[in-house]
Amino acid sequence: VSNDTDIVGWWLNLPKIFPMLTCMAMDICAIPATSVPCECLFSAGAEITTDCHSHLSSDKFEHLQVMKHAWQNSITDHATINSAKVDEVYLQDFRELLTMDYELAACDTAVGKVVTV
């Protein structure tokens, strides 16, 4: 075995020689090197287990987690997509009022000028 050896692949080739040891090695090789994936799962679970949904059974909770993971890349965030359009429409609707406000402010600073709208 060298540093470049794929440990999981190496153990997959040995089940006939060491069946019990291969099973144990696969269990150990499956343990993640960091706890980050586990922490992500727990924080994702906290999003589902709110006060409103705390009465969910463990089966329903598991189904929701699996569905969330499966759909994660296919769900479109329409709020983010539409936010640019909403801002653009918002500015266009009030551009005339902003222009009028600047004109009235200029008139307010003029001395002795009567302002009519």
Torsion angle in degrees (nearest 10) through CA of 45, 31, 14, 3: 130
Residue 54 has pLDDT above 70, yes or no: no
What DSSP assignment string belongs to the chain? --TT--HHHHHHT-TTT-HHHHHHHHHHHTS-SSSHHHHHHHHHHHHHS-STTTT--HHHHHHHHHHHHHHTTT---HHHHHHHHHHHHHHHHHHHHHHHHHHHHHHHHSTTPPP--
| Mean per-residue pLDDT, 72-96 | 73
pTM (two decimals): 0.27
Q: What does the pLDDT look like over 60-75, one tens digit per residue?
A: 878 877 887 787 778 7
